[in-house]
Structure 1
């Protein structure tokens, strides 16, 4: 089984970190390939970045000419483009945002998301609502760190723990890493918090493997039905 994991920004080092986390979660026989958009934001940290990122990720998958793949994991927490990719490709598409939230709902009644900047909260909340898991979210809270600040592991852990306390005080029984760049942090903070911590990258990989193993993919019976070929016009140069 081959899973393609798409970074939502152009930072290759982050793609490599995400791929390491994805491979750690993948089962035997699963190959993980990372894709980095050739254009778009260096880090996706707001509405404009998110929409540009969505177009870049769609373009990257539309022009992909590598080995065939069995599933796509979208490694942008709260980023746009999920529904477009499901219309575009013929394999299961799992977004780390909804994957983490769905698994969190299996572990506790309410979950909290700890993300990067406070300005990212709105789009994450919207993404969770659209995925049908927003009502179980106790709080989305920022650490105050930008995406590119997450390379400092000690600083990131301290900021995560401080923000996680706010989520727990709001009623969260499970915590979710609210950025793909936080992948791997769950091992360091779960015991300190006394709560399960879900990494969206690992969750998405395991759900993608399950969908492929069950022979399931996106329905073409309604929302994601393909448009007629004559209506699909691309003007990207």
Structure 2
């Protein structure tokens, strides 16, 4: 078991995405904070691999995963480009969000492409029930290229999320966390409010989780200094918790 890595969600909306995030990218690089690229298929279709990755790699920022919507009808060329982007990144992981109407054949096509490029694909279930349905597909696909990413905002409580994450612990490679108060304003990650992240992280580490923990706030509600403060405190909490467990 290794110490979980920490990343933040970075939205890629056009080819000039890095120009509007210069301060954030510099601070991420200075503090050795990785990112999860959160984007959509038109961006993958229209931009080259370098257009998406180079602004980050030039700053020395690691990309842990690339997050796109599930789309079983996407053409093979665009799917391959997505997987190539993941192959060129540090985490070599693609995450598929909103996986509502995919079939076994959709997943098999994704898995076959990922195995070719030695890339992992993760599904983001939006409920415990959906996770069980997806697992019925995952267990039929060999090769170890398919797993889960669990997003805190898809669950009503921390305990509910833990139930899914622990049920599929061996397949869970990313956890995306956030926190809000009673007025839906952003709250500290480590102060129990809507979610109890200290409980979540301690429990996962005690059970052997060693994937990525990704931070996601509404970008319109959290500025760069606040985000950095929360992520750095989270990294320290994970480090201290991990070290205590290893003793």
Normalization by structure 1: what TM-score? 0.36
Using CA pairs below 8 Å that are at least 6 residues apart, which structure has the higher relative contact order? 1
User: TM-score if structure 2 supplies the norm length?
Assistant: 0.35
